[in-house]
Amino acid sequence: MAESQRYSVSPAGEKFPVPAEEEYVKELERLEKLTDGARAEGKEIVVVMGVGFVGAVMAAIVADTTDDRGKSSKFVIGCQRPSTRSYWKIPLLNKGLSPVKAEDPEVDPMIARCVKEKKTLVATYNADCLKYADCVVVDVQCDYTKNELGNMKTGETEMAALEATLKTIGQKIGPECLVLIETTVAPGTTEFVAWPILKKAFAKRGIESEPLLAHSYERVMPGKEYVKSIRDFWRVCAGCNAAARKRVEKFLHEVLNTKDFPLTVMDRPIESETAKIVENSYRATTLAFLNEWSLFAERNGVDLIKVIQAIGMRPTHSNIIFPGPGIGGYCLPKDGGLGYWAYKHLLGFQDGDEIFKITPTAIDINDTRGLHVAELVRDALRNMGRYIAGADVLICGASYRQDVGDTRYSGSEMVVRKLTEMGAEMRVHDPYVDHWYELESQDTYPAPGLSWARFFRNQHVLKGTVVQKDLEHALEGAEAVILAVPHEPYLDLEPTEVVQWAGAPLAVIDCFGILPDDKIRKYFELGCEVKGLGRGHINRIKKEVQVGSSVEG
């Protein structure tokens, strides 16, 4: 067997041998002992399938649950496939270490506490543990693959992992076990895909009762309040039948803070599933809506940032936000696609293109907004008498939003790819990101053949991308700097400092309304060129500085 097939390597570079066939029996014996002990103490056994961004933290929250007397009431097994790509999460979790990197200071101690002190959390690769479960929480991914850039309608839902997980669950759980799907799915999946899979598996095993299946979607937000966004946040749920509904309500009341954040119970899972898709499509749409006004502002001397601040004073419009260079994260770029796809492929309607106008357009706009940043960099350099081809360009911020290290589908990736195609020499700085896997591992990440690299030419150079941490060093000799994400350390940067570190005046591109007017003015005074998304007033400041210097001269 090849070396790479026998080991799973963690992001920190730690190598774990993937367990061999003969180790499964021993592993199950270990789990049986642990679950016997937990049951004897009156604990419920919960298996969380998929210990990724959501599952790992959800598993810890459930494991941290106590009853009215403050006694731990759940024993949790996080279960993960032992693939070379993902296996490392299991030994890491079993050491009490989080498999996900989180900015929330609550994550690491919570996982350590549950694994090492309370002993209410373990992880395994052996899915036979499902037979011990009173409840299974499904947190595996369900992706939406786009086949063209800027045309989400030709994409497709990729639910193989979810279907495989459900088949395994159906083969192994007891008849009274509650199965709770938390994965964001194409509406209809719980009732029309998952339930039939479980029913068939039960029938094959001679189990006569209906499987207890429910849906409740996650609203987790990566960042400083990761745990709170799961535990102390409103939830929506629904069961496939009355018994499942009762069980899911009980479970969520036990593990989440539903006292302060009341639970909404829907009649059917398709309603809970649709709520998630509409919630995220609404957000994607309001963000995409500002793209046209951002371009309007740039061409008509208007600062859209100030326009948004003015509008936001009105309480009914206070959540209006500027879209930046694209709308990334795992959810907003794909969730509307799941809805569009479900309408045709799960629910059987042929008129999807007649009824879905806004959601697909919004996603397409968001997916391609970053391309305009490349135009701004090109134009700013041109105004300084330089070409983009061969220019050293630093992008500040690789993640999809401020003060998090999550790079999935970030607007910055689109910017870097387009500028690389145009011949720029890209450098990257981000205080929160250690590895930009979308670039470094573009042959296999997010999956083989699915990198955004396929939409651009000359992307191979990006595999060598190193995310720099020392801004002063990263800026040395840069001809352009793109302020792509409003990370805290970028907010207070002084123009004199930036120009000094760069060693000469440079092009400054503001993608998120980071620069106040006095700093824009200062950059011009220092001989720089400034451009910004939605910031049409910059030219006015430039002219004022030019007039001022000619008067002085």
Ligand X SMILES: NC(=O)c1ccc[n+]([C@@H]2O[C@H](COP(=O)([O-])OP(=O)(O)OC[C@H]3O[C@@H](n4cnc5c(N)ncnc54)[C@H](O)[C@@H]3O)[C@@H](O)[C@H]2O)c1
What's the CA gap between 454 and 48, in Å, rounded? 34
Residue closest to 91 by CA, chosen among 142, 160, 23, 173: 23
According to the binding rule CB under 6 A, does residue 330 interact with ligand X?
yes
Q: Which residue is nearest to ligand X (CB)?
A: 52
**Closer by beta carbon to ligand X, 100 or else 415:** 100
According to the binding rule CB under 6 A, does residue 180 interact with ligand X?
no
**Closer by beta carbon to ligand X, 221 or else 520:** 221
Strand 425-429 and strand 467-468: the pairing is parallel
User: Cβ neighbours of residue 312 under 8 Å, at least 6 residues apart?
Assistant: 318, 319, 320
User: Cβ neighbours of residue 242 under 8 Å, at least 6 residues apart?
Assistant: none
For residue 141, the minimal CB distance to ligand X (Å) is 4
**Closer by beta carbon to ligand X, 245 or else 334:** 334
Q: Report which residue type is found at 296.
A: F
Let me know if 389 is exposed, middle or buried by CB neighbors in 10 A (0-12, 13-18, 19+): exposed
For residue 137, the minimal CB distance to ligand X (Å) is 11
For residue 212, the minimal CB distance to ligand X (Å) is 20
According to the binding rule CB under 6 A, does residue 535 interact with ligand X?
no
Of 65, 72, 98, 165, the residue at the interface with ligand X (CB under 6 A) is 165
**Closer by beta carbon to ligand X, 86 or else 286:** 86
**Closer by beta carbon to ligand X, 139 or else 438:** 139
**Closer by beta carbon to ligand X, 330 or else 524:** 330
For residue 24, the minimal CB distance to ligand X (Å) is 15
DSSP state of 462: G
CA 530 to chain centre: 31
Q: Are 215 and 273 in contact (CB under 8 A)?
A: yes
User: Cβ neighbours of residue 330 under 8 Å, at least 6 residues apart?
Assistant: 53, 406, 408, 409
Please tell me whether the peptide bond between 446 and the residue prior to it is cis, using omega within 30 degrees of 0: yes
For residue 28, the minimal CB distance to ligand X (Å) is 16
The footprint of ligand X on this chain (CB under 6 A) covers a number of residues equal to: 26
Strands (E), 325-369: none
Of 140, 177, 244, 394, the residue at the interface with ligand X (CB under 6 A) is 140
Strands (E), 284-333: none
Of 179, 331, 439, 482, the residue at the interface with ligand X (CB under 6 A) is 331
**Closer by beta carbon to ligand X, 220 or else 515:** 220
Q: Are 112 and 118 in contact (CB under 8 A)?
A: no
For residue 163, the minimal CB distance to ligand X (Å) is 9
For residue 161, the minimal CB distance to ligand X (Å) is 4
Q: How far is CA 68 from CA 73, 254, 255, 540, 546, in A?
A: 10, 10, 12, 64, 70
For residue 215, the minimal CB distance to ligand X (Å) is 11
Per-residue binder mask for ligand X (CB under 6 A), 196-215, x = binder = --------------------
CA 318 to chain centre: 24
Beta partners for residue 135, in sequence order: 46, 178
For residue 55, the minimal CB distance to ligand X (Å) is 5
Q: What angle do CA 234, 240, 243 make, to 5 degrees?
A: 90
Q: How far is CA 516 from CA 253, 298, 355, in A?
A: 46, 16, 42
Tell me the residue length of the chain.
553
Ramachandran bin of 181, using left for φ above 0, alpha for ψ from -120 to 50, beta for the remaining angles: beta
For residue 333, the minimal CB distance to ligand X (Å) is 11
According to the binding rule CB under 6 A, does residue 410 interact with ligand X?
no
Of 218, 249, 303, 438, the residue at the interface with ligand X (CB under 6 A) is 218
**Closer by beta carbon to ligand X, 86 or else 468:** 86
According to the binding rule CB under 6 A, does residue 98 interact with ligand X?
no
For residue 545, the minimal CB distance to ligand X (Å) is 43
What's the CA gap between 313 and 466, in Å, rounded? 41
Per-residue binder mask for ligand X (CB under 6 A), 45-84, x = binder = ----xxxxxxx-----------------------xxx---
According to the binding rule CB under 6 A, does residue 159 interact with ligand X?
no
Q: Are 180 and 62 in contact (CB under 8 A)?
A: no
According to the binding rule CB under 6 A, does residue 420 interact with ligand X?
no
Residue closest to 169 by CA, chosen among 131, 123, 124: 131
Using CB under 6 A, which residues numbered 219 to 248 contact ligand X? 219-220, 222
Of 142, 186, 484, 545, the residue at the interface with ligand X (CB under 6 A) is 142
According to the binding rule CB under 6 A, does residue 370 interact with ligand X?
no
Please give the residue ranges that form the binding site for ligand X (CB under 6 A). Answer: 49-55, 79-81, 86, 139-142, 161, 164-165, 183-184, 218-220, 222, 330-331
